[in-house]
Amino acid sequence: MTTNISLTPSHSRTEAALFASLLLANATPERVMRLGLSGAAMAALLRRHFAPVPEVWHVLAADLPTPAWASHAIFVVEMREMLRRRANPVLHPVDAADMATILATACLRPDHLWRDLGLTGRDDVTALLAHFFPSLVSENTANLRWKRFLAETCANAYGRAPAPAPGCPGCEAYGECYAHLRRTSVPIEFP
């Protein structure tokens, strides 16, 4: 994280504090790009929640390239749409869409979701989801890891068998999360 970068919400709504924690945890050009927002979307988010926006954030937003998840576009689009349909109805739809983009993009990276988001632990992801997409938190009755749960929920929403998110195979816990997908060898008996 870059030092001397601040971001003070311009209002007291919870989503501003949640966005601030994500942005501050990813306040370098390399990390902010991994949030998946376009420069225009980032600039609009900053204006909605952090006026006046510090100059360093204008620079970070202006330098954002077009999000580079083309190889997983179907996953990202479907995940974003599934999340948007489950958004807390009291939230501004653009805030829900931005958070859906951030979460879908984080699912492309090979670590636990909380680490991919730059947060300090699973509880941070739970708090974020409880605010933006509360029904998902109540549905995770098996206490699955959040990235796995989101990927499975998304697959189910589109009538497909549950499968890992694109980033899951690179995670240290992949074998634990997806042990049921491992092939086992069964001896073949010949007559």
Query: Any idea where the domains of the chain sit in the sequence?
Result: 14-62, 70-164
Mean pLDDT, rounded, for 111-118: 95
Which pLDDT score is estimated for 23? 96
pLDDT(68) > 90: no
pLDDT of amino acid 186 = 47
Given this model, what pLDDT does residue 4 score? 64
Instruction: Quote the CA–CA distance of 7 and 187 in Å, as a whole number.
Output: 61
| pLDDT reading at 32 higher than 70 | yes
Q: What is the pLDDT of residue 69?
A: 73
What pLDDT was estimated at residue 190? 43
Convert the pLDDT of each residue in 92-101 to its tens digit.
Answer: 999 999 999 9
Residue 1 has pLDDT above 80, yes or no: no
Task: Decide if 152 contacts 142 (C-beta within 8 A).
Answer: no
In the chain, % of residues over pLDDT 90: 75
What pLDDT digit, counting tens, does each position of 124-174 carry? 999 999 999 999 999 999 999 999 999 999 999 999 999 999 999 898 888
Average pLDDT, the chain: 90
Of 170 and 190, which is predicted with more confidence? 170
36 neighbors 5 (Cβ within 8 angstroms): no
Q: Which residue has the tokens 């939230």?
A: 91
Average pLDDT over residues 42-58: 94
Q: 6-10, 38-42, 44-48, 106-110: lowest mean pLDDT where? A: 6-10
